[in-house]
Amino acid sequence: MNVLFCSSEVKPFATSGGLGDVAGSLPRALRNRRVACRVVMPLYGDMKQEYREKLTYLTNFNVPVGWRNQYCGLFELTHDGVKYYFLDNEYYFKRSGLYGYYDDGERFAFFSRAILEMLFYLDFAPDIIHANDWQTALVPVYLNLYYRHIEKFRNIKTVFTIHNIQYQGKYGMEILEDTIAIGRENAHILEYDKCVNFMKGAIECADKVTTVSPSYANEILDPWYSHGLDDLLRQKQYKLCGILNGIDTKGYDPATDPALAANYDTKTFAENKPLCKKELQAELGLHDWPVPVVGMVTRLTGHKGLDLVRHVAQEIVNNGLQLVVLGSGDAEYESFFSELAARNPRSVGVRIQFNPALASKIYAGADLFLMPSKSEPCGLSQMVALRYGTIPIVRETGGLRDSIHDSGDGEGNGFTFSSYNAHDMLNAILRAKAGYENPEGWQMLMKRAMECDFSWSASAKRYVEMYDQVCRLW
């Protein structure tokens, strides 16, 4: 089976979040299951020179963008056994950062159309094109409208994955013809709530629509989570499913992580994890008391549940826990956590920054990892925390519900709460604290957490099964 995986970001070449992690890991796992998976992404201007030097130029061609034809260069690179294609247009992609420009709609309409045009110049014929998020949502739309009559494209199936339904690619109707080259007779494919909606087009045209966890696939049928697309998704529910993401278990490994004061595994964590905790407390100026450290590595935005933390943060500290927060985002949360640390300098450590090394130290040095998200399509941090033997406390939503199960029955791997309520969250934290105070039981819980398998191998198996189903359609 041949799969072309389309993404606007791919780790390690260019990434801003979870999509890049998935696009950097899943294709490798698919190849390990004998799926011939190749990846295509834009050639961004700030791609690291070490990778740029390894690119091989293949050809160039023109891409229709509205009434214009735009240059596209095609490059390739093989990395970790996976072949990557890079589509080059300096006007669209030689910029700082990946997103946030006034013409993002035009940039990614170009990218989506270029993905299909490049197939004329390759000896690779995909059975499935797997598009991801709104930036590649026009691929199945363009395929159905403009390429199905061509023999090379006639039997290609399409899969579209929603990583976060909040970001849909919504623009005014005026871009329909001049920018994305779709006539008024086909406007119904993209039009939703009087806007052009890229994601809506993919949901209409793709053969299969997936999300990054089973629970999220159900949640987005509810207006609370759908950001307006619930009615459409209920109509297309027959093509919707959820597959839980995995994590890169080689990249996240406490046995080899160079940032840690002491490396450890399931046999040595009892001796060495406390050394990581001691270093974390020292680096952040906290008391080296034997109390539970609650860690958070997160974007400081509202949907991460930070208003719940804000409501009871002082109570967390007053109950004899320490709190460590790493991240950046909305000014109101940056200010709150900074002020909280100033009031409690030996119990609260806050760093408003992006710092991967410190993130590793928190995963390893904390005892508990807090994720009270309002919504969480999948979440990776809770899986990383488990890998490091740090016990998650999560709200039961999306992928958090699918990956973390309450240890109250003696079999789970964390602590959970269901309602979006600050004191329900606090109760889960205090239950975790009570568990921490039982050293023998806590050691068993930590070992069970570290033995959880959230590798991409398990997720890739489910993707292969889904691809097989799609290939049997029509």
What DSSP line would sit under 354-408, residue for residue? --HHHHHHHHHH-SEEEE--S--SS-SHHHHHHHTT-EEEEES-HHHHHH--BGG
Structure tokens at 54: 């390894």
Please, what's the largest Cα pairwise distance for the chain?
A: 70
Q: Give the tens place of pLDDT for each residue, 226-266.
A: 999 999 999 999 999 999 999 989 889 999 999 999 999 99
Structure tokens at 146: 């403009």
State how far the Cα of 284 lies from the Cα of 328, in Å rounded to an integer.
17
State how far the Cα of 356 lies from the Cα of 270, in Å rounded to an integer.
24
pLDDT score recorded for residue 406: 96
Burial class (CB in 10 A: 0-12, 13-18, 19+), 222: exposed
pLDDT score recorded for residue 51: 96
Question: Which domains are assigned to the chain?
Answer: 2-246+457-471 (3.40.50.2000), 269-453 (3.40.50.2000)
pLDDT score recorded for residue 243: 97
pLDDT score recorded for residue 16: 85
Q: Exposure pattern of 300-315 as b/e (b: 16+ CB <10 Å)?
A: beeebbbbbbeebbee
Structure tokens at 312: 């009871």
State how far the Cα of 362 lies from the Cα of 350, in Å rounded to an integer.
11
pLDDT score recorded for residue 67: 84
Question: CB of 28 within 8 A of CB of 77?
Answer: no
Count CA atoms within 13 Å of residue 115 on its CB side: 33
Over its length of 474 residues, how does the chain's per-residue pLDDT go in tens digits? 999 999 999 999 998 888 999 999 999 999 999 999 999 999 999 899 999 999 999 999 999 998 889 999 999 999 999 999 999 999 999 999 999 999 999 999 999 999 999 999 999 999 999 999 999 999 999 999 999 999 999 999 999 999 999 999 999 999 999 899 999 999 999 999 999 999 999 999 999 999 999 999 999 999 999 999 999 999 999 999 999 999 989 889 999 999 999 999 999 999 999 999 999 999 999 999 999 999 999 999 999 999 999 999 999 999 999 999 999 999 999 999 999 999 999 999 999 998 999 999 999 999 999 999 999 999 999 999 999 999 999 999 999 999 999 998 778 999 999 999 999 999 999 999 999 999 999 999 999 999 999 999 989 999 999 999 999 886
Strands 293-297 and 191-192, how do they pair?
Answer: unpaired
**Strand (E) or helix (H) holding 162:** strand 157-162
**What pTM was computed for the model?**
0.92
pLDDT score recorded for residue 333: 97
pLDDT score recorded for residue 18: 84
**C-alpha closest to that of 348 among 317, 323, 367:** 323
